[in-house]
Structure 1
Amino acid sequence: MKIAGNIGFLLPVLMSHPVSSSQRSTSFSIPFSSSPPDPAGSHFKEKSAARSLVETDKAFLDSLADINTNVLHHLLHHNTVDQKWHSQVTQLLILNEKFHALWDQTGEMCKTLKRLIQQDKPVSLQDIYIISNKTGVQEVYIQYFSSFTNFVVVEGFDYLSKKTSYYFKKNKVNLNKFFTNSQKAENSVSVSLYRILHERIREQVNQYTLILTRLCETTHKTASSEVIRDALKGFVDLQMYINQVLDEASITNALWKSLERKVTDVLRVPESRLREESRNIPISISPGRSGHDRILLFDDVFVLLQGSDIHCYDLTTLWIEFTTEENPSRRSLKVTSPEESFTLSAKEPQHEAVWQWKLNQAIRQCLTGKRDFPLWGKGVDGHSPSSPPTSRFSAYTFKNEGRFKNAVYEGHWNKGVPHGKGTLRWDDEQNYTGDFQDGKEHGFGVCVVPRKETEGYDCYKCHWKDGRMHGYGICEYSNNTVYRGYFKDNLRHGFGILEGCRTDSKPLRYVGHWENDKKTGYGVWESIDSGESYRGMWLEDQRHGHGIVVTQSGFCYKGIFNSDKLTGKGILLSEDNSLYEGEFTEDLMLKGKGKLTFPNGFTIEGVFSNTFGNGLQASGILKTAGHEETAESVAQLQMGLHGLPVEKRWTGIYEPFVEYLQAGSTEESDESFLGFHIETGRTMRKNNNKGAGIIAETHTEETTEYLFCNREPEEFSVSTDFIENLKKQPDYVLLQQYLEKSFQSSKHPLGKILQTQALVFQATYSGMGANKHLLTMAQDEVKYHAKKLLEIIRDYLPESFNKECEDKETRDEMNCYTLVLPLILPKFYPELFMLYMLYHEKGDALYWQGIVHLGLLSDAKLLEFLDVQKHLWPLKDLQLTANQRYSQVKDQCFHSAIECFQKISTTADPRDKMDTLFRTFEEIEKTVSWVLDREYKLPMDDLLPLLIYVVSRARIQHLGAELHLIRDMMDPCGIGGIYDFLLTALESCYQHIQKEDIRQARFPD
C-alpha cells in the first residue's frame, strides 16, 4: 500500500465495522457440552465442537470490536502523514487492513455455523470451518502476524508511543481495560499497544487448537480421526509459526537499535528478518578479506560489515559449499557470488555447519518465495527441506569493472555465472537475449546495440561462442543494410550476403566471402544505383585480382583489378558481340592499344581513345578479310575467370557444411553451420522504441518454389545423424531415393546446403547478372556443385558400397551427372535456362520464324512440303471429303508424338528431356507401323522429315536453348547410342527450320 497526501479521508472507512460490542469475554476455555446426545445420535461430537467453536468466536469477536473501538480507532486518528515516519505510517495502515480481514472472516464463518446450529440441523466435519477451511483460516492469521511483525521491525510501536502517548495517558481506561491491575502499572504505552494488538489474537489460535485436541480425543480410531488430526497439526504448526515470527521480529528490531543509523537506513526493510549473525555464532572471513567485523544473514540478503562499509549479497545469486582449497586438512565454507568468491571459517566445525545449513535454508526459501511452515520445521510441502538448486533463475546487476558493468542480467545461473537462457540489459539501452554458457554468450542470441550517429539500432540475431558472435547470423544495421552470413570473433568472416535497402539513394548487394569484417575472397557485388555488377576477387573491401564487370546495358569487362581499379589489358564484350581486347582507363573507358572486332568479323587494331563528348576514336588498321569465320568465333565467345577456377570461388559455402559434418551433424549445431536454409523464410524487424523495447522477431513463411520444383516433398522424418543415415543405404537405387528425398527436404542437411547454393546462384545470375556472356561460368558452377556434393556424400558411404562401385557398370552410374545433378538442377534451372535463352536468342528467333511460317500450312500440305513419303501418311486409304480429311489429319496424324514432344519443356532433368525425345521417336514409329500394318524401323531419311513435322506442330518456343542445355548438362559418358542419334537428329531439324528457304519460301496453293 502506498501512502500519498493526507489520510484523514480514510479514517471513516478504516474504523467502520459491522460487528461491535461493549462487552468482553474473559473465559476462553469452553469445554464440550455434557448434555445427552441428540435422539438421532449421529453428529453429537461434531455439533458439540461446533457449539464450542461458536462460543469461542463470539468472545473473540467481542475482543476484536473492543480493540478496534478503543485502540485502532485512536491510532489511525493520530496517524498523520510525515516523511520521516513514512514506513511506520504505511505499515500501520497495512496492519489495520489485515486486522479487519481477520475480523471479517471470523465473523462470517461464525455467523454461518451459528445459523446451522440454530436450525437444529446435523453438523458434519465439513461444517466446522477450522477443519474444512483449515488453510484459509491459517492464511488470514499468517497475513496478520506478518504485518504485525513488520510493524515491530520498523519500530512502529515506538512511533505510536510518541504520537499517542499524551492521548492514552489522558484516557488510561482505553488501555487499562485490557490488563489486570498488576499489568497496568508495569506497561508503558508502547508495550501495552504491542500486547493488545497480538496477545488476544494469538490466544484465539490456542483456543482452536484446544477444540481440535478434544475433538480428536473423542473420535479416536474413527473414520474422521485422520482429518481432525491433520487439522490439529496445522494449527499446532501455526502456533509455532506465530512464536517464531514474534521472536524473529524482536531479534531483528534489537539489531537495528544496535547498528548505526545510516547502516539501519540502508538495510532495514519491513519484511526482512535476521536469521543469524557472527556475534551469536562466531564465524569470520578467511585471510584476504580480513577486517570485516560483523556478518549478518537476513532472509533475503547476506551482509558483511566493516565499520561503516556495507557489502550486500542477494541470496538468490549466492552459492554455498564446503571446500578444502585454502587448507586441504580442514574444510571451509565457500561463498560464491556473480562477481566474487570468499570463504568463511570458524574455530568450531559445528559453527560452520550451522551457518551452511542456515544459508542454504535462506537461499532456498528466497528462491521459492515461501518460508517454511513452521519456519524452522519441515518445508511447506511437509517434507524435509532440500538444498537450493545449483542451477536457478534470478536477476542481478553487475557492478565491477568489465564488459558487464552496470548491466542487469535476468535469467538462469549455475554456480555464480549466467548459464542457460537469459537477458542482459545495459544502461545505454544495449541488450542481449539468448543463450549463456559459463558466464558468456554462447549459443543463439539476439543483441540490440544503439547507434547515436544514426539515432537507430543495430540488431544482431546470431550464434555466439565464448561471448563472441561465431557462426551464422542475421544482422540488421541502423543504416538499413542487412547482413546474412557467418561470423567469427564478432566480425563478419566466411560467406555472407550484405544487402542495402532498395529505397536508399545508393542500394547495393554483396554476395561472397569476408575476412575480419571486410570483403575478401571471391564475391559478387551489385550496385542498383550505377547499374553495374562485379564478380571476382576482393581484398579488404576493394576489387583485387581477376574480375568481371557487367553493366546494365549489357557490356562485360574482364581483367585484373588492383586496389579497386582495372589495370593492364582487359576484354570488353558488348551485347551485339562486339569484342575489344586491349587497354582501359581506371574507370573502364577504352584508351590505349587494343583490337576491336565487330560482329561481322571486321577488325580495327591500333590506338583507341574516348574523349568526353567526341565518342570513341581510333587510329589503326581496319581488316575485312576472313570476316565470316571471325564473326562466328566472336559470337560464341564467353566470359570466364580463367585465372580463378570454379573450385576456388565458393569455398565459403562448403566450409561450414564440412565443419557441421565433422561436428557430428547434431540438431543443436544445425542453424549455426547451415543457417542459410532459413534465408527465404526468416526476416528481422525492430521496433524504434528505446531500450528494452527493441525486440528482434522471426517468422517463417512458405518458401517460394522454383519452376520445375512444384511437387511437394514427401513427408520425410530427418534423423539428426545425417552420417548414420548415409551409412544405412545398401545399394544404388535406395541411395538415389534417399538423396531425392533429402534434397527436397528443407529440414535435411543436403536440402539446406542446396538452398544456399541456389540462393547464391540466383544472386549471381539474375538481374544484372543475367548476361548471355556468363553462360559458361554458370554451367561450370552448377556442375561443380553437383561434383562437390557427390564427393561429400561418397566420403560417408559404407566402404562396402564404394567397393561395389569399382566395377564398370556401377561406376558409370555413380557420377555427378547421373546421381546428383538431376536432383539439384531444378533449383538452378530458372536462372540457368534464362542464360541459355539469352545466348541462343538470335537462333531461336530464326527458328520461330520458321515455325510460324510452317504453321500456315495444313497438316497434309506440310507433310507434302517436307517430302514425307505418302505411304507413311496415316490417311493413305481413306476416302473422305476435303473438310473431313482436314479433321482426321488434325486429330490423328502423329498427334500422340506431338503431345509427347511438348513435354520436353516441363522438366529440368536432361535425362528426362532425352526420355521424352525417345518416346516421341517411339510414337512416330508406332504411327507409321499402324499405317503400314507391320513393324517398321524408320531410317534417317524417313525420320528427319517426320521429326520436323512433329517439331513444327509441337511449337516449342525456345528449342535451341533446350537442345544446348541437354547437350551441355548430359553425362559425357552417356553420349552415344540411340540417344545421341536422336539428339543429333533433333539438332538437324532445328537447323533445317532456321533455313531461309523454310522461313521465306512460297508454298504452292
Structure 2
Amino acid sequence: MCSPEEEALQRLEEVFSATLARVNSLVLQPLLETTPEPSDPQVRECLRLVQQLHQSSQRLWEVTEESLYSLRRRLGHPDAVGLESLLLLRDADRVLQVHVEYIESYASCVAVQAFQKAAKKRREFWRGQRKALGQLLLGVSSEASVGTALTQALRQPLAHHVQQYVLLLLSLGDSVTEPHPARELVVHAATLFGNLQSFMRQTLDQALATQALWHSLSSRLRDVLCTPARRLLQDSQDIAVTVTPLRVERVLLFNDALVLLQGHSVHTFDLKLVWVDPGQDGCIFHLLTPEDKLSFCSKNPQDLMVWRWKVTQAVCQALRGKKDFPVLGAGLEPSEPPACRCVAYTFRAEGRLCQATYEGEWCRGRPHGRGTLRWPDGRNHVGSFCQGLEHGFGIRLVPQASEDKFDCYKCHWREGSMCGYGICEYGTDEVYKGYFWAGLRHGFGVLESAPQAPQPCRYTGHWEKGQRSGYGIKEDSDRGERYIGMWQADQRHGPGVMVTQAGVCYQGTFQADKMVSPGPSLAPTPASLPRAPGSSSLKTTPCMKAPSPGT
C-alpha cells in the first residue's frame, strides 16, 4: 500500500514539471530569441550562459518526468512495484547532480547579470510579459525591474521544489520502519537533498555577492577580473586585512584566484599555486607563491583566522576543480591542501626564468620533482628539479641562432648547473662524453667532431673549468697530426709528443701551444707509431712513451 507521502511526491513532481515547461516557454526561449546576432561580446557571452541554462533546465525537466513516471507505476501497482523502484530513491545521486548543474548554470547568469543584458534589446516585450511572469512568482512586487522578475522566476520554483522534497522525504523516512529494505535509500535521499538546500543557498549568495562586486569596481578592473565562473568568497572591505610587502588597497579572494588591487595595478595569484605557510603566530600568516611571499596581518586575530580558513578551503576546492558539497570546507577530501602539486606556470619576474613556462610537479612554491621548463627563445629542459633548480638527470635543448640546429645536453645536474657525467651533442656536429662541474667540462672527457665537420678532430683527456688541462691526446684527422701530452688553459703546455702526418715524431716541451724545447725526433715505420686511445691504426713504441702528468 502506498503512503500519503508518495502521493504528495507525485503531485509535487507534476507541478514542478509543468512549472519548468512554463519557465522554458515564458523566459528562456524568449531570452534566446535575439536576432540578429548581437555585436557586443558581453551580450553574446550572456546569451551563451542563458543557452547553457536552457539545456540544464531541459535535463532537469527530463529527470523530473522520469521520477514522475516511476511514482505513477508505484501508485498504480503498489503490490507489484516496491518503494525502492522510485527514481528519487534508487538513483538519488543522478537526480541530485542534475539539480546541481541547473543551480550552477543559474548562478553564472546571476553573477554577470546575464538575464538583464540579454533582455535589454527587447525591453518592451518583457514589460508586456509581467503578468505572465507573475504566474511563476510569489511575493515579488509588480514594480520590480524586469531583471529582478526574470531572476526570481528561475529561482523561486526550484527553491520551493527542493524544500518540499526534503520535507516529504523526511516524513517518508519516519513512516518506513527499520526492517524495510528501502529505509536506507529514503534516509540517503533525504540527506542528499537536505545538503542540496545548503549548497543552493551558498551558491546563490556567492553569485549575488559577486554581482555586487562588479558594480563596485571600475569598468577597466571589471573587464580584467570578471568571468562567469568566478565567485567572490571574501573581500577585505568586509573583513579587514593588510598584505605585505605589497601595500594593497583591497584584497579579493575568489574561488580560483587571490587578487590584490594596488592603484591601477592588479596582482593575480592562481590558487592552485598558493601555499599556506604553517609557520605563523596569532596576528600574521604567510602565503607562498612561485615568485612572492605574502604576509597577511590583522589587528583582530579572529578576522585573520577567517581569512586563513577561507584561503585554505579555496585552495583545496581549486585543486579538486569543483565546488565543495554541500558548502565550502565540507568536502570529503582532507581540509589541508597537499604540499606537492602538478600545475603549469609562466614566470614574470626578471631573472633566468623570466617568461619561462614550467609544467610539472611543485612543492611549497618551487618546482620540485619531474617537470618541463620552456623559455620563449626555444630553450627547454626536461628532467628533475629540487627547490626550484635543475637537480638530477635532465635533458636540455638550446637552439643555435644561425641555423635550425640545437645543442642537446643529456647529463646530471646539481643546483641548477651541469654536474657529473653527461653526453652533449652540439649543433656544430661535435659530441662530448665526460664529466661536468658547475656547468663546465671538468674531469675526464672525450670531445669528438663528426667526420663531415670542417676540421674533424678528437680530444681524449682531462678538463678543468671548461678548458683542456692536464694530460690529454688530440687527433686532427684533416692534418693527420696527433699530440700526446700535457695541456693548460686549452693550449699545449708542458712535456708532450707530436706525431705528424708523415709519421715523424717530435718530443719536447710545449708552452702556449708551441714547442719551446725540442727533443729528439724519430721517423718510425707506420707499425711503430704512438697509438692514441681508441685508435686501431697506431701502436706505442717504448722510446715514445707518453709523459706522465707529474713529469
In 1, Cα distance between equivalents of 2:365 and 2:542: 59
1:485-504 matches, within 5 Å, as 485-504=434-453
In 1, Cα distance between equivalents of 2:542 and 2:91: 84
Partner of 2:384: 435
List per-residue Cα deviations over 1:115-173 (Å, max 9, x = no partner). 57656673335422222222211111111111111111112122034123211223444
8 Å contact 1:125–1:132 — kept in the other structure?
no
In 2, Cα distance between equivalents of 1:527 and 1:539: 18
Distance 1:373 1:550, change over 3 A: same
Instruction: Give the C-alpha shift of residue 54 in structure 1.
Output: 4.1
Greater helix share, 1 or 2? 1
1:68 equivalent to 2:24? Answer yes
Greater strand share, 1 or 2? 2
- The letter for the 2-side match of 1:491 is L
8 Å contact 1:168–1:174 — kept in the other structure?
no
In 1, Cα distance between equivalents of 2:542 and 2:111: 84
In 2, Cα distance between equivalents of 1:321 and 1:84: 41
Instruction: Give the C-alpha shift of residue 418 in structure 1.
Output: 2.0
1:19-418 matches, within 5 Å, as 37=1, 44=2, 52-78=8-34, 80-85=37-42, 86-111=44-69, 114=72, 118=76, 122-179=80-137, 183=140, 185-224=142-181, 225-286=183-244, 288-290=245-247, 292-321=248-277, 323=279, 331-376=283-328, 378-380=330-332, 385-418=334-367
- The letter for the 1-side match of 2:224 is V
8 Å contact 1:470–1:488 — kept in the other structure?
yes
1:773 equivalent to 2:541? Answer yes
List per-residue Cα deviations over 1:471-528 (Å, max 9, x = no partner). 1122121122221211112111111121222333433222211112122211222233
Q: TM-score scaled to structure 2, two decimals?
A: 0.90
In 2, Cα distance between equivalents of 1:547 and 1:377: 75
8 Å contact 1:535–1:549 — kept in the other structure?
yes
List per-residue Cα deviations over 1:830-888 (Å, max 9, x = no partner). xxxxxxxxxxxxxxxxxxxxxxxxxxxxxxxxxxxxxxxxxxxxxxxxxxxxxxxxxxx
Helix, strand or coil at the partner of 1:764? coil
- The letter for the 1-side match of 2:86 is I
Instruction: Give the C-alpha shift of residue 297 in structure 1.
Output: 0.9
1:540 to 471, 480, 489: 489
Partner of 1:519: 468
Helix, strand or coil at the partner of 2:541? helix
Helix, strand or coil at the partner of 2:344? strand
Instruction: Give the C-alpha shift of residue 764 in structure 1.
Output: 0.4
8 Å contact 2:137–2:152 — kept in the other structure?
no
8 Å contact 2:84–2:185 — kept in the other structure?
no
List per-residue Cα deviations over 1:322-372 (Å, max 9, x = no partner). 656xxx8x6412222222223221111111111111111111111221322
- The letter for the 1-side match of 2:522 is L
- The letter for the 1-side match of 2:64 is T
Distance 1:362 1:507, change over 3 A: same
Instruction: Give the C-alpha shift of residue 416 in structure 1.
Output: 2.1
Distance 1:177 1:542, change over 3 A: same
8 Å contact 2:411–2:418 — kept in the other structure?
yes
1:572 equivalent to 2:341? Answer no
In 2, Cα distance between equivalents of 1:194 and 1:269: 19
Distance 1:145 1:379, change over 3 A: same
- The letter for the 2-side match of 1:767 is S
Task: Give the number of aligned pairs.
Answer: 545
- The letter for the 1-side match of 2:118 is L
List per-residue Cα deviations over 1:181-212 (Å, max 9, x = no partner). x6361332111111122221233322332332
In 1, Cα distance between equivalents of 2:434 and 2:419: 10
In 2, Cα distance between equivalents of 1:113 and 1:215: 14
In 1, Cα distance between equivalents of 2:423 and 2:312: 43
8 Å contact 2:458–2:476 — kept in the other structure?
yes
In 2, Cα distance between equivalents of 1:220 and 1:428: 72
- The letter for the 1-side match of 2:440 is L
Instruction: Give the C-alpha shift of residue 771 in structure 1.
Output: 2.2
- The letter for the 2-side match of 1:103 is W
Distance 1:638 1:245, change over 3 A: closer
8 Å contact 2:13–2:67 — kept in the other structure?
no
What 5-or-longer segments of structure 2 have no aligned partner? none
Distance 1:442 1:775, change over 3 A: farther
8 Å contact 1:527–1:533 — kept in the other structure?
yes
In 1, Cα distance between equivalents of 2:83 and 2:473: 84
Instruction: Give the C-alpha shift of residue 550 in structure 1.
Output: 4.2
List per-residue Cα deviations over 1:361-406 (Å, max 9, x = no partner). 111111221322112352135xxx4211223222222111111111
8 Å contact 2:358–2:373 — kept in the other structure?
yes
- Of 297-306 and 368-377, the range deviating more from structure 2: 368-377
Superposition RMSD in Å: 2.9
Partner of 2:424: 475
What 5-or-longer segments of structure 1 have no aligned partner? 1-36, 38-43, 578-636, 640-760, 782-1005
Instruction: Give the C-alpha shift of residue 545 in structure 1.
Output: 2.3
Distance 1:559 1:116, change over 3 A: farther
Helix, strand or coil at the partner of 1:213? helix
Distance 1:177 1:240, change over 3 A: same
Distance 1:518 1:202, change over 3 A: same
Which one scores higher on RCO, CA 8 angstroms, separation ≥ 6?
2
Partner of 2:408: 459
- The letter for the 2-side match of 1:202 is A
Partner of 1:911: none
8 Å contact 2:28–2:50 — kept in the other structure?
no
In 2, Cα distance between equivalents of 1:114 and 1:500: 85
1:572-721 matches, within 5 Å, as 572-575=522-525
8 Å contact 2:130–2:142 — kept in the other structure?
no
- The letter for the 2-side match of 1:197 is L
Instruction: Give the C-alpha shift of residue 555 in structure 1.
Output: 4.9
In 2, Cα distance between equivalents of 1:550 and 1:107: 96
1:562 equivalent to 2:511? Answer yes
Distance 1:120 1:222, change over 3 A: closer
Helix, strand or coil at the partner of 1:183? coil
8 Å contact 1:532–1:550 — kept in the other structure?
yes
In 2, Cα distance between equivalents of 1:241 and 1:147: 14
In 2, Cα distance between equivalents of 1:113 and 1:504: 84
Instruction: Give the C-alpha shift of residue 95 in structure 1.
Output: 1.7
Bigger CA radius of gyration: 1
8 Å contact 1:459–1:476 — kept in the other structure?
yes
List per-residue Cα deviations over 1:56-101 (Å, max 9, x = no partner). 3232222111111222121110263323423212222222222222
Q: TM-score scaled to structure 1, two decimals?
A: 0.51
